[in-house]
């Protein structure tokens, strides 16, 4: 049995009196890519923010490699090996691409390895190398998404959680970003949890997936099986 990298149990998160996450349980095993699918407003962002400490939960547990991380400071959670790549990228527009990347590594003191990791990211994302001295705000949407992922990698996480990496990107860019996400998983050994409205690409990329509706998980299973399910085809893949 492969060890659980992330174990979420019976999670409940509220905005004031409104319950946005209603008893969610899920697991990500070491080496997996796991997707959470769901329409706008299903609670995907709230779920990721609760996992990474940006929001507190009222009930439930979040275990990273067996250690409880719920309701802790997001910086502390990041230091435990979890990188959160937020929706909308949130790069620092007035800093250079290189400085954005170095900020991802600010907790680290292993100078040589940091330089090697920077080169690794430039190899995966040549556009970032070409624009290393440019202000991040001048990058295209796709390049900013690449920067957000590469900055997450620079903290050397064992688990990366990605919020809607396809958001606002053209189909060609979506394919190339997801190709790199797969390579980071296969070649760099990164375990990945991603939430997506783009069910087709999320199911193609992940090993297993969960489907969220109004704050709860309504379906889960191997991604290849979910992609063949009639409900998923009709409601998430737009096929009859
Ligand atoms: P999207 O893809 O649009 O980000 P989502 O699946 O990530 O959707 P969430 O953003 O997690 O969904 O939102 C879940 C629910 O919580 C929605 O009903 C939303 O309106 C509500 N919500 C989100 N943020 C807040 C907030 N700051 N205050 C109150 N309600 C919120």
- For residues 72 and 178, state if they share a domain: yes
Q: Is the CB of 197 under 6 A from ligand 1?
A: yes
Distance (Å) from CA 163 to ligand 1 centroid: 13
Torsion of CA 20, 38, 146, 6, to 10 degrees: 70
Q: Into how many domains does the chain fold?
A: 2
- For residues 161 and 75, state if they share a domain: yes
- For residues 60 and 98, state if they share a domain: no
Q: What is the DSSP letter of 169?
A: -
Distance (Å) from CA 16 to ligand 1 centroid: 13
The pLDDT value given to residue 89: 72
Distance (Å) from CA 62 to ligand 1 centroid: 20
Domain boundary among the residues 155, 175, 201 is at 155
> Which is it for the CA torsion 232, 233, 235, 238, positive or negative?
positive
The pLDDT value given to residue 187: 95
Ligand 1 mutation pick, 37, 41, 217, max ligand atoms within 8 A of CB: 41
The pLDDT value given to residue 213: 95
Q: Is the CB of 41 under 6 A from ligand 1?
A: yes
State the pTM of this model: 0.94
- For residues 110 and 174, state if they share a domain: no
Nearest to 77 by CA among 102, 101, 45, 55: 55
- For residues 77 and 128, state if they share a domain: no
- For residues 225 and 164, state if they share a domain: yes
Percentage, residues of the chain above pLDDT 70: 98
pLDDT in tens, 59-77: 999 999 999 999 999 999 9
Other CB atoms within 10 A of residue 143 CB: 21
Domain boundary among the residues 134, 155, 176 is at 155
- For residues 222 and 110, state if they share a domain: no
- For residues 105 and 94, state if they share a domain: yes
Q: Any idea what the CATH number is for the domain that residue 191 is in?
A: 3.40.50.300
The pLDDT value given to residue 232: 86
- For residues 233 and 161, state if they share a domain: yes
Domain boundary among the residues 102, 136, 155 is at 155
Range of the domain at 122: 90-155
pLDDT band at 2 (very low <50, low <70, confident <90, very high): low
Distance (Å) from CA 45 to ligand 1 centroid: 7
pLDDT in tens, 106-152: 887 777 899 999 999 999 999 999 999 999 999 999 999 999 999 99
- For residues 232 and 173, state if they share a domain: yes
Nearest to 166 by CA among 130, 204, 119, 128: 204
- For residues 141 and 232, state if they share a domain: no
The pLDDT value given to residue 106: 84
- For residues 105 and 205, state if they share a domain: no
């Amino acid at each position: 049995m492969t060890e659980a990298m992330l174990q979420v149990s019976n999670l409940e998160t509220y905005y004031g009196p409104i319950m946005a996450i209603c008893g969610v349980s899920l697991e990500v095993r070491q080496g997996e890519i796991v997707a959470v699918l769901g329409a706008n407003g299903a609670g995907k962002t709230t779920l990721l923010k609760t996992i990474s400490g940006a929001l507190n939960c009222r009930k439930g547990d979040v275990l990273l490699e067996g250690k409880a991380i719920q309701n802790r400071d997001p910086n502390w959670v990041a230091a435990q090996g979890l990188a959160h790549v937020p929706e909308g990228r949130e790069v620092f527009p007035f800093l250079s691409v290189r400085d954005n990347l170095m900020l991802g590594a600010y907790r680290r003191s292993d100078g040589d390895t940091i330089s090697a990791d920077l080169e690794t990211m430039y190899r995966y994302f040549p556009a970032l190398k070409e624009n290393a001295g440019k202000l991040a705000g001048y990058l295209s949407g796709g390049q900013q998404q690449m920067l957000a992922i590469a900055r997450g990698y620079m903290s050397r996480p064992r688990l990366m959680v990605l919020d809607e990496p396809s958001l606002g990107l053209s189909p060609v860019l979506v394919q190339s970003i997801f190709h790199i996400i797969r390579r980071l998983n296969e070649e760099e050994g990164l375990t990945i949890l991603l939430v997506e409205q783009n069910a087709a690409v999320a199911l193609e990329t992940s090993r297993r997936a969960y489907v969220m509706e109004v704050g709860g998980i309504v379906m889960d299973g191997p991604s290849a099986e979910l992609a063949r399910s009639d409900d998923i085809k009709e409601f998430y893949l737009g096929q009859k």
